[in-house]
Amino acid sequence: MKFGIIGLGYVGLATLCGLAKAGHEVIGVETHQGKLGLLKSGHPPFHEPGMADVLQEHADQITLTDEIANTEHVDYLILAVGTPSKPDGSCDLFYIETALSELKTKHKVVIRSSVPPGTTDLLKIMYPSHTFAIVPEFLQEGRALADVMKPHRVVIGCEDLEVAEELAGIYGRLGVPLICTTPINAELIKYASNAFLATKISFMNDLSRLADEAGADIMTIADGMGLDPRIGRSFLNAGIGYGGSCFPKDMDALLHVAKENDVNLRVIKAAVKVNDTQAEYVLSKLHLEPKTRVAILGLAFKPGTDDMRDAPSILLAHHMVARNVEVIGYDPIATWEYPQAASVEEALKGADYAILVTEWEELVNLAPEAFSGMRQRRLLDARNAWKFARDPGDVSYEGIGRMQRPSNTPTSN
Q: Write out the DSSP string of 13-67.
A: HHHHHHHHHTT-EEEEE---HHHHHHHHTT--SS--TTHHHHHHHTGGGEEEES-
For the chain, the domain total comes to 2
- List the catalytic residues: 246
| Residue-level pLDDT at 411 | 40
Query: How is the beta sheet containing 353-356 ordered, strand by strand?
Result: 326-330, 293-297, 353-356, 378-381, 396-398
- Quick check: 410 pLDDT over 50? no
Last residue of some domain: 152, 181, 210? 181
d(CA 311, CA 331): 12
Are 254 and 162 within one domain? no
Using an 8 Å Cβ cutoff, are 193 and 138 in contact? yes
- Quick check: 409 pLDDT over 80? no
| Residue-level pLDDT at 12 | 96
- Quick check: 407 pLDDT over 70? no
Last residue of some domain: 181, 211, 239? 181
CATH of the domain at 263: 3.40.50.720
Mean pLDDT of the chain: 94
pLDDT band at 281 (very low <50, low <70, confident <90, very high): very high
Are 385 and 245 within one domain? yes
pLDDT band at 404 (very low <50, low <70, confident <90, very high): low
d(CA 413, CA 398): 30
Are 316 and 264 within one domain? yes
Q: What is the mean pLDDT of residues 197-208?
A: 98
Are 163 and 210 within one domain? no
Intra-chain end-to-end CA distance of the chain, in Å: 79
d(CA 119, CA 134): 10
Q: What is the mean pLDDT of residues 277-292?
A: 93
Are 205 and 307 within one domain? yes
For residue 296, is it within any domain? yes
Q: Write out the DSSP string of 313-376.
A: HHHHHHHHHHTT-EEEEE-SS---SS-B-SSHHHHHTT-SEEEE-S--HHHHT--GGGGTTSSS
Are 243 and 373 within one domain? yes
Q: What is the mean pLDDT of residues 253-279?
A: 96
Are 145 and 262 within one domain? no
For residue 134, is it within any domain? yes
Could you tell me if residue 39 is left (phi over 0), alpha (psi between -120 and 50 degrees) or otherwise beta?
alpha
For residue 47, is it within any domain? yes
Q: What is the mean pLDDT of residues 371-380?
A: 96
pLDDT band at 403 (very low <50, low <70, confident <90, very high): confident
- Quick check: 198 pLDDT over 50? yes
For residue 411, is it within any domain? no
d(CA 367, CA 391): 10
d(CA 90, CA 116): 9
Are 217 and 149 within one domain? no
Residue-wise pLDDT for 232-261, tens only, equals 999 999 999 999 989 999 999 999 999 999
pLDDT band at 287 (very low <50, low <70, confident <90, very high): confident
d(CA 299, CA 309): 10
**Any idea what the Cα angle at residue 141 is, between residues 140 and 147, rounded to 5°?**
45
Are 225 and 173 within one domain? no
**Amino acid occupying residue 366:** L
Residue-wise pLDDT for 68-93, tens only, equals 999 999 999 999 999 999 999 999 99
Non-local CB neighbours of 32 within 8 Å, separated by 6+ positions: none
For residue 195, is it within any domain? no
Q: What percent of the chain has pLDDT over 90?
A: 95
The domain of 214 spans 200-398
For residue 285, is it within any domain? yes
Are 141 and 216 within one domain? no
pTM: 0.92
d(CA 296, CA 329): 5
- Quick check: 408 pLDDT over 90? no
For residue 406, is it within any domain? no
Sign of CA dihedral 307, 308, 310, 311: positive
Query: How is the beta sheet containing 25-29 ordered, strand by strand?
Result: 62-65, 25-29, 2-6, 76-79, 108-111, 131-134, 154-157, 178-181
Sign of CA dihedral 75, 76, 81, 87: positive
For residue 410, is it within any domain? no
Are 152 and 221 within one domain? no
| Residue-level pLDDT at 252 | 95
Are 30 and 176 within one domain? yes
For residue 156, the surrounding DSSP H or E stretch is strand 154-157
* Residue 256 phi, psi dihedral angles, 5° rounding: -70, -45
- Using the 8-state DSSP alphabet, how is residue 249 labeled? H
How many residues in total does the chain contain? 413
